[in-house]
Amino acid sequence: VVARVSRQKDYFTLADAAAKVLAKHPDVRFLIVGDNSLVDLNRSHYEEVAQKLNQLGIADRFIFTGHRTDVPRLIAAMDICVLCTHREGFPLSILEAMAMRKPVIATAVGGIPEIVQPEVNGYLHQHGDSTELAERIVSLVEDPDKVKRFGAAAAEQVRQNFSLQRYINEISKAYLDVAQQ
């Protein structure tokens, strides 16, 4: 996960899903990259999440890095990118992971369904559904070929639809359209 530890992000659903994943695959680890101590609200929420992980008996399977400036290096160490959230606009963390050939599993809210194509570059799960999220994670953990296939499709989608050149072309076209009116 690349996301600050805040209430907006649905870490309780992730924790419940992780417990289910770990029951089948106890060797899985969860890497959380994002602020959990610099902002008071994040620090407070992190303490609640840590308590939940302790109650589930899985705290030792989670690594919280806090705020980092070497996020690409940490994404490179991941096999799968997960974004469990209550609401979201258009998350760049998903695009960054996809550009690095990582399949994505994310909550079907906000702009996320515009990015994640189920069974192509990752999976969506319904908000608050820890069972569905766990099933999606297990599906990829158990199928490394699917991870590679989804990752390749993810990188291609970012290249085709979200590249800097495409952005420049679309902005230029918008300005030209306005100028010609």
What tens digit of pLDDT does each residue of 92-120 get? Answer: 999 999 999 999 999 999 999 999 999 99
Alpha-carbon distance of 117 to 106, in angstroms, equals 10
Amino acid (one-letter) located at 64: F
Reading across the β-sheet that carries 104-107, which strands appear in turn? Answer: 81-83, 104-107, 122-125
At 73 the pLDDT is 97
- Check: CB of residue 146 under 8 Å from CB of residue 80: no
Please report the DSSP string for 12-69 in residue order.
Answer: HHHHHHHHHHHHH-TT--EEEEB-SSSSHHHHHHHHHHHHHHHHHT-GGGEEEEES-S
Average pLDDT, integer, range 11-30? 98
Average pLDDT, integer, range 59-80? 97
